[in-house]
Amino acid sequence: MTGVITRATAVPAPGLPDRVTIYEVGPRDGLQNEQAVVPVAVKEEFVRRLLAAGLPLVEATSFVHPRWVPQLADAADLMTRLGADGLDCPVLVPNERGLDRALELGLRHVAVFASATEAFAAKNLNRTLETQFAMFEPTVERALAAGLDVRAYVSMCFGDPWEGPVAPEQVVGVGQRLLAMGATQLSLGDTIGVGTAGHVTALVEAFTAAGTPLDRLALHFHDTYGQALSNVQAGLRAGVTTYDASAGGLGGCPYAESATGNLATEDLVWLLDGLGIEHGVDLGALVATSSWMAGQLGRPSPSAVVRALAQSTS
């Protein structure tokens, strides 16, 4: 039997960034959509293994009310167990109560979660598109005053299952308001995975035309229609250098049934390796971590790269 090729052959393409940042969301965005609650000890090991694999940013959890996302009810316990190793792990804080918990633990990076559409703002935030900002403003203001870094997610940037296609200018309007509040980065989410390469290009160009620097943008793709890696390539050509991804392709969105798994971090790493783009992640360690987590969850990983390489790293 022939051996398994464990790394993509690097063939750089002109006009692409030399290096990108991978923002790992598996422990939060991945596990929040699990039907069963994952033990906190498993979550702790998951985060530690991802950090050890070289991922520079690992979003660990969310301080959301357990009634809405019971899978993350152990957020404070997890961050306490991580101790000093978790201080630089971002956490999602939906409101000031969530921020209070992050501040009590001495955490340094938080994120808020906005909607680009009226329908999703109502279903996810129980707010209108306009009144959602009143919830974020005091949270962002207090976080910045305390010296924390604040990221802002914008969901439904490409399409909404209740409203249909979403115009780039609508997304830009939401994003510009979050940046004006003081968010250091916008993560533009294709929550239900309907985006295509041309749409990605148009959205990034709409932001840059509005004066948004490319280093303030991140892209967050779901692979519902198999377009995530194609969309990453469009983002790279447009100059975006931060990409969200989830180890093993875990996750989705608990408020949108059509939102299936996130872009798998391993699949992203393989693409970047093939393009000769630096990222700092140990693919073998990452595959071993996702294989281990798949065992904890009792099902195979949806990541194509994990499936291809799992045997060679086990």
Active site residues: 253
Q: Is residue 297 within 8 Å of residue 33, measured between CB atoms?
A: no
Cβ contact 289:303 at 8 Å? no
Cα four-point dihedral sign 52, 55, 57, 61: negative
Q: Enter the tokens of residue 22.
A: 């991978």
Q: How far is residue 65 CA from its own chain's centroid?
A: 20
Burial of 225 (0-12, 13-18, 19+ CB in 10 A): middle
Backbone φ and ψ for 96, nearest 5 degrees, come out as -65, -30
| Cα four-point dihedral sign 43, 153, 205, 216 | negative
Phi first, then psi: give them for residue 187, nearest 5 degrees: -100, 115
- Are 56 and 282 contacting, i.e. CB atoms less than 8 angstroms apart? no
